[in-house]
Chain A
């Protein structure tokens, strides 16, 4: 069974702090996505990374795909209360059509 483990599971920080969320697996992924989910809603895509070593920036969010395409990180600079939510990574392995979702990181940013 493929597993995508995220750490930390929970994170509560003050507004303005920086944080990093990790997504790790023993499997190699063709592509990896990060989603954010708010209570009572479905996940919404933040970014897709496909190349080993790739770095993508989305305003204050920086996403990195590991060189071996087995892991990824999400770094948030100067977190804001609007960043609060459940962050999920999801990977697709070559030759399959199905996503494996990570265990999730629940972030709370306090004003």
Chain B
């Protein structure tokens, strides 16, 4: 099992550009999450999903969109990149809301 995989590992964007951060899990987990982590800080929830076709906003959803067409994939879309979106993005999955979250290795995004 690969667990949770994220691509790309690093990306530099110009202001106003768009991109999609990919996240795939092979553990058949229903719950998936996107977080951002600013330097030296904890994680802030952007969006989450409790199953295919169901998504909901977290603490900091502005500027982002998600979709969940399959159990395995949970891509995060940035439409108009802004410097405030410079961060490390982590995707996670879990079998329920009370169980362990398994995290991907993260995507380091810089917006200049």
**What is A's interface to B at a CB cutoff of 8 Å?**
1, 4, 6, 30-31, 33, 40-45, 48, 50, 88, 90, 92, 96-104, 106
| Chain B contact residue count (CB 8 A cutoff) | 26
- Roughly how many angstroms separate A41 CA and B58 CA in the complex, as a whole number? 22
Can you report 14 residue pairs joining A to B where beta carbons are below 8 Å apart? A1-B59, A6-B42, A40-B105, A41-B105, A41-B106, A42-B104, A90-B43, A92-B98, A97-B50, A97-B56, A98-B33, A101-B43, A104-B41, A104-B42
- Roughly how many angstroms separate A88 CA and B44 CA in the complex, as a whole number? 12
- Roughly how many angstroms separate A40 CA and B90 CA in the complex, as a whole number? 11
- Roughly how many angstroms separate A40 CA and B106 CA in the complex, as a whole number? 8
CB pair A42 B40 closer than 8 Å: no
Chain B 24-56, CB-CB to A under 8 Å as 1, else 0, gives 000000010101000011111100101000001
CB pair A99 B45 closer than 8 Å: yes
Q: Among B33, B90, B97, which residue has the most Cβ atoms of chain A within 10 A?
A: B97
Residues of B within 8 A of A102 (CB): 42
